[in-house]
Amino acid sequence: MASAYEGARDNANRGGITMRLHRQVIWGFCIAAANLFGYAAHADETCNSPYMAGLIKGQEDFVHVWTLGVPGVGDESDKLVTIDVNPASKSYGKVINKVSVGARGEAHHMGFTDDRKYLWAGGLDDSKIYVFDVGTDPSRPKLIRMIDDLSAKTGYAGPHTFYALPGRMLIGNLSNVADKGGVTGLSLYNNKGDFITKYDNPTSAIKGVTGDGYGYDVAVNPAKNALLTSSFAGKNNYMRDLGEVVKDPEAMKHFGNTMVVWNLKTMQPEQILAVPGAPLEIRWALAEGQNWAITATALTSQLWLVSRDAQGLWQAKAVATIGDPAKIPLPVDISITADAKGLWVNTFMDGTTHYFDLTDPQHPKETYSKHTGSQVNMISQSWDGRRVYITSSLLSKWDKKGKDDEQFLRAFHWDGHELTPAFEIDFAKEKLGRPHHMKFTANPSRLASLAGQSAH
């Protein structure tokens, strides 16, 4: 059997590389470029960092769920749960692997490294970061590293967003160790897990708008040299019972009301945008001619569009409401379609999944909604938009109580008109914990077949 390198050499020596091979080579080398079509942020296949290899545009094989450990439930530890989601598999819709980290630190979000071989997952309470190898065998992720120097190196706490930059990981944090409030910043590590530097979120005025220093999501647009960040709250709020927080007027003052536009090269904040009500997830539309980003505000229940005006300044404006803002439905995760013409929004309090038509991003229109659970938080869709996955948990102290404290992953088919249930994992019944962030991987054995599809 000829080695790949020998095969490549033979082919090159013949000087007759076939068109099929030509296309395959292009396919192989276009990974980075093609990801320009990705939509920057996290939560699903359309929302990964655009500098990451290997978007899965076909059928994903596995969904990895970063799951909060619950006292008295199973091993009580935070864990990475892997679910087989390929309908052709015998274990479709089943949990096939779980990796406990041996601690309970408020598991929350995850992000792939740029080569998609490793998944970084953070704890909002203990500020630890776990690195899982999902490239060697995505059906059986392995915990290979634990990074615990974030707070010591930066003074920040609550690593939230893990955003792949070339060869490194940019982390958006939520809090700090000094007063556990929301003033925080960004931290930068190399892919080996070594700390590089930190960047404080702005707290002074820039162009007349004062920063609150709060942090949440991170999203980059390389063509604009722009990095956008959003703002949520510190540990004092997110590690406190939600019912208590909303009844405490002082606590309610401590939510983020800004977004920041950073110069990505210099990492200097250039503009602060007033976006009241805790703007959370950010999604750029990166396709050429689509120079905008969108976010949802948790407390004011609005969609906000961030775009450049004629003078070249970034502006943010509310473009739609989500549900009835007076009832505080609490929009949480959002998921943009690959063509940036549609947006899923989950509202936690009323357990509703909304679909907005983004054809005109200045005027999003809700065209569909469905009650998908007693509480719903994260939402991830496949690249083709045909499969939608939802998990239930928001934060351990914010999840509902009693019978409304459902803990699940629900998978749906989406035909453009209706969400149809595909399968469900009951995380409480299976003694797993509270399911939060999801990431997709695909079985490497399919590489060849997808290449064939790509070539023809």
Partner 1 sequence: MRRISAIAGIALAVLAGVANAAEDPGKATAPRMEFVAPRPGSYKLQRIQHVSDAKLLDSSGRLVSLSALTHGKITLLTFFYTYCVDPLGCPFAHITLAHLRDRVRGDGALVNRVRFVSVSLDPTHDTPAVIANYGQEFAIDPKFDWRFLTARGVPELLPVLDDFGQDVSVETDENGRATRTLHHMLKMFLIDAHGEVREIYTLAFLQPQVMFNDIKTLAQEAG
Q: What are phi and psi of 106, to 5 degrees?
A: 70, 65
**Near partner 1 by CB under 8 A: residue from 194, 241, 360, 418:** 194
DSSP states along 53-85: S----S---EEEEEEE--TTSTT-S-EEEEEE-
Which residue, among 406, 376, 285, 298, has the nearest Cα to 336 in the 3D structure? 285
Bridge partner list, 297: 279, 302
Using the rule CB under 8 A, is 146 a contact of partner 1?
Answer: no
Residues 345 to 364 in contact with partner 1, rule: CB under 8 A: none
Is 315 a binding residue for partner 1 by CB under 8 A? The answer is: no
Chain centre to alpha carbon of residue 5: 37
Q: Cα torsion at 50, 51, 54, 60 (round to 10°)?
A: -40
Binding status of residue 8 toward partner 1 by CB under 8 A? yes
Task: Lay out the site mask for partner 1 across 245-264 (x = CB under 8 A, - = otherwise).
Answer: ------------------x-
Which residues make Cβ contacts (< 8 Å) with residue 225, sequence separation at least 6?
Answer: 263, 264, 265
* List 315, 359, 420, 449, residue binding partner 1 (CB under 8 A): 449
Q: Is 416 in the site for partner 1 (CB under 8 A)?
A: no
- CA angle 430/436/440 to nearest 5° reads 95
- Tell me the number of residues near partner 1 by CB under 8 A: 83
SS3 283: strand
Find the binder of partner 1 among 207, 265, 417, 456 (CB under 8 A).
265
Nearer CB in complex with partner 1: 17/144: 17
Q: Is residue 196 involved in binding partner 1 (CB under 8 A)?
A: yes
Interface with partner 1 includes 139 (CB under 8 A)? Answer: no
166 vs 421 by CB, closer to partner 1: 166
For residue 19, report the phi and psi dihedrals to the nearest 5 degrees.
Answer: -60, -35
C-beta of 62 vs 238, nearer to partner 1: 62
Secondary structure class of 21 (helix, strand, coil):
helix
- From the list 125, 73, 373, the residue with the least C-alpha distance to 81 is 73
Cβ proximity to partner 1, 137 vs 244, nearer residue: 137
Nearer to partner 1, 62 or 427 (CB): 62
Shortest Cβ distance from residue 113 to partner 1 (Å)?
8
Q: Which stretch binds partner 1 (CB under 8 A): 88-96, 233-241, 273-281, 442-450?
A: 442-450
For the chain, the straight-line distance linking the first and the last C-alpha, in angstroms and rounded, comes to 25
Q: Which of 41, 44, 47, 50 binds partner 1 (CB under 8 A)?
A: 50
Does position 55 interact with partner 1 (CB under 8 A)? The reply is: yes
40 and 417 Cβ atoms separated by less than 8 Å = no
Q: Name which of residues 150 to 169 contact partner 1 (CB under 8 A).
A: 165-168
Is the Cβ of residue 226 or residue 340 nearer to partner 1 in the bound state? 226
Q: Which residue, 236, 254, 239, is CA-closest to 106? A: 239
User: Which residue's CB is nearer to partner 1, number 28 or number 416?
Assistant: 28
In the sheet where 434-441 sits, what is the strand order?
A: 95-100, 79-84, 62-68, 434-441
Part of the chain binding partner 1 (CB under 8 A), chosen from 27-35, 173-181, 244-252, 360-368: 27-35
Least distance in angstroms from the C-beta of 315 to partner 1? 17
Residue 115 binds partner 1, judged by CB under 8 A: yes
Interface with partner 1 (CB under 8 A), residue from 72, 95, 125, 135: 135
Regarding 144 and contact with partner 1 (CB under 8 A), the answer is no
27 binding partner 1? (CB under 8 A): yes
Q: Which residues contact 137 (CB under 8 A, 6 or more apart)?
A: 444
CB 276 within 8 A of CB 297: yes
- Which position among 91, 136, 362, 420 is part of the footprint of partner 1 (CB under 8 A)? 136
Nearest CB to partner 1, comparing residues 28 and 87: 28
Residue 242 engages partner 1 in binding (rule: CB under 8 A): no
- H or E element in which residue 4 lies: helix 4-14
How near is the Cβ of 216 to partner 1 at its closest, in Å?
Answer: 23
